[in-house]
Amino acid sequence: MPKLQALPIDPLLPQIAAALREAPSLVVQATPGSGKTTRIPPYLLAQALVKPEQEILVLVPRRLAAKMAALRVAEELGEAAGERVGYQFRFENVSGPKTRLRFLTEGMLLRFLVQDPRLERAGMVVLDEFHERHLHSDVALGYLRSLQQGARPDLKLLVMSATLQVEGLVPFLPGSRVFQLEAPAFPVAVEYLPSDPKKPVEAKVREALAYAKGQAPPEIRRGDVLVFLPGMAEILRCADALERAFGAEFLILPLHGELPKEAQAKVFAKADRPKVILATNVAETSLTIEGVTLVIDSGLQRQASYSWWSGIPALKTRPTSKASGIQRAGRAGRTAPGLCYRLYSAADWEARLAFETPEIRRSDLAQTLLEIKAMGTQRLSDFGWFEAPPEGALQASAALLHQLGATETPDLDAALSRLGRRMAAIPIHPRLARFLLEAERRDCLGAALRLAALISEDALEEVDVFHQLETGRLTEPQRRLIVLWGGHFSKAAVQARGREEELAYALLTGFPDRVARRRLDSASAEKQRAMERGGEVELVFCNGGAGLLRGEAALEGEWCVVLDVQEKQHAGQARPKVHVSALAPIQPEWLFDWQGSLLAEERELVWDERLGRVFQVSRIRYGQLVISESREAPEDGAAAERLFLKSALSLELEGSAAESLEVPGLL
């Protein structure tokens, strides 16, 4: 075993192990770079705190951080990853029969729990970087605590973070102790370098690096540079720009999860010239990079969000919080005084949120509810949330699961249906799971998998989704998703292409509340055609409201499923306009198959002033849209007579007088 570098956390390791022998749970708060992620889990494994046949699972928020931590621990143990130490996340599983310490992403743990609600494989679960408050980590902590207090009293829980507010955790984990370690840090000076907001981020970084060459103190210029960018696309563009401008002076090193192991290792190795490391917020606390004296902070991040229209998870570029900005700046002061350039103004800094809003307060919860129920927690009212989500979001998600057929009733405590259990087995949003299962039944799963990958990756670029499906090319991540989801079906089903009509019907089952109809008015057919050629067509949504469709993308027929929309607001407009950006045409008769809260029949008596008669109007509605309407003779003669007399007399009387009029012998 190689000789290990001493880290600040090392003296606390025996105390942490002793505490976990006595207590079921423990909280460790230690500053970035202290070694908590790579030193505590292997030490606990060596101290035999779990049974020989059990694993220690370490939850890490990001794939890159999980992989790098596992590789570092395996290296320090003198072995390759996949032996005693492994890692696992979507698309990659490096582990084997000897693996006892497994680093994984938070979402992967929930998949384990769906398959094995008692989590028999694990004797301990470590939740790292809990301060980030991801939805999956909040749900995992709540479920694991319930499991610990019920079926698995032997299960150990360790919650770790760099900037943890422990006040809420200690009462949530009865009997837990708290260990805190504040490693010394050097001062970091901060400068603001605002520029035109429309300027590309790679141009801002290039200018900041040029400014540092001329203005930064010599001791800063001798160190490495860490650049925080929101995502991989910006990393690649920035790498290209900096390579062309400074390739002879700096070693430009992107850092992202798609890099091979050898390229990632260069980030942490010594170099013959200063390094410029281009990273996302994974380098805030999850990874420690020695030798950084200058941080360039774009002030942006990719934040887990979701489409307000479809509920499908998505990553949105958002400003970082002050807490995140402080963490980023601190990376320049690990080994010596440092400098941080923020590529925005001081006024912008003052206006930012102090902390990130926990995901549980701002996320779509349909997939979370489905997974919790699949773990065996049928009554959501009994679930031990670390922080309860908004009641409205819970109710909306429960209603959607019922519309999709995943639950027997629309309330929070409803049991999963047989269909719901199949949906929960597929690691995908419930809408897309329902879509794929219906596509399997209709022999069009191959095409459905491609379309689901486009929807999931927010890659719908044409209004006509079927045209994009025929002509578009898939990216490598989209192909991986198809392989992942296709593994839950037979090979024959995955190869079935089917017809567009079958695919459209399957889409309806996944998006039943996103049906729209072209607005019909009294305009002539010639006028309607003119509007479609040069203007916009209005679509009315079944859940209320309306959206605009470009005339050149005219809808064939009247009905469709709207898969995506965009909001646009111009100066002077009170509210944004909704523009339909992706749809699939459907047949209205399909809606009659949809037995649920959306389909309703109503009858009312109406007075036809032109004919001077009372009719009974029968309507079948789908949400707020009328599918069919008929007029017939009234069934209730007495009610028809009352309406007839009131309506006829109101032609000569004021409305208020007619409402109170009584006609002896007839009423």
Residue 660 has pLDDT above 50, yes or no: no
Helix locations, 404-499, DSSP H: 418-424, 430-441, 445-456, 465-471, 476-486, 491-495
Q: What is the mean pLDDT of residues 555-561?
A: 85
Report the pLDDT value the prediction gives residue 666, as an integer from 0 to 100. Answer: 35
Report the pLDDT value the prediction gives residue 667, as an integer from 0 to 100. Answer: 35
Domain ranges of the chain: 10-181, 188-357, 363-420, 426-596, 599-651
Q: Tell me, rounded to whole angstroms, the distance of Cα 633 from its chain centroid.
A: 53
Per-residue pLDDT reduced to its tens digit, 76-113: 999 999 999 999 998 899 999 999 999 999 889 999 99
Report the pLDDT value the prediction gives residue 480, as an integer from 0 to 100. Answer: 93
More confident residue, 544 or 586: 586
Band of residue 552 on the pLDDT scale cut at 50, 70, 90: low
Query: What are the CB-based long-range contacts (under 8 Å, 24+) for 316-319?
Result: 317/230, 317/231, 319/348, 319/352
Helix locations, 257-319, DSSP H: 261-268, 282-285
Band of residue 295 on the pLDDT scale cut at 50, 70, 90: very high
More confident residue, 613 or 508: 508
Residue 246 has pLDDT above 80, yes or no: yes
**From CA 357, how far away is CA 132, in angstroms rounded?**
9
β-sheet bridge partners, residue 295: 226, 340
Helix (H) or strand (E) holding 639: helix 637-649
Report the pLDDT value the prediction gives residue 449, as an integer from 0 to 100. Answer: 97
Q: Tell me, rounded to whole angstroms, the distance of Cα 107 from its chain centroid.
A: 11
User: Class assignment of domain 188-357?
Assistant: alpha beta
Residue 587 has pLDDT above 60, yes or no: yes
Query: Would the CA dihedral through 293, 296, 297, 301 be positive or negative?
Result: negative
**From CA 610, how far away is CA 607, in angstroms rounded?**
9
Residue 648 has pLDDT above 80, yes or no: no
β-sheet bridge partners, residue 109: none
Band of residue 615 on the pLDDT scale cut at 50, 70, 90: confident
Q: Do 188-357 and 10-181 fall under one CATH topology? A: yes
Query: Would the CA dihedral through 469, 472, 476, 477 be positive or negative?
Result: negative
Q: Is the Cβ–Cβ distance between 619 and 602 less than 8 Å?
A: yes
Other C-beta atoms lying within 10 Å of the C-beta of residue 166: 18
Helix (H) or strand (E) holding 315: strand 313-319
Residues comprising the chain, all counted: 667
Band of residue 445 on the pLDDT scale cut at 50, 70, 90: very high
Look up residue 648 and give its two tokens.
Answer: 């006829």
User: Over pLDDT 90: what percentage of the chain?
Assistant: 59
CATH architecture under which domain 10-181 falls: 3-Layer(aba) Sandwich (3.40)
3-state secondary structure of 199: coil
**From CA 132, how far away is CA 164, in angstroms rounded?**
9
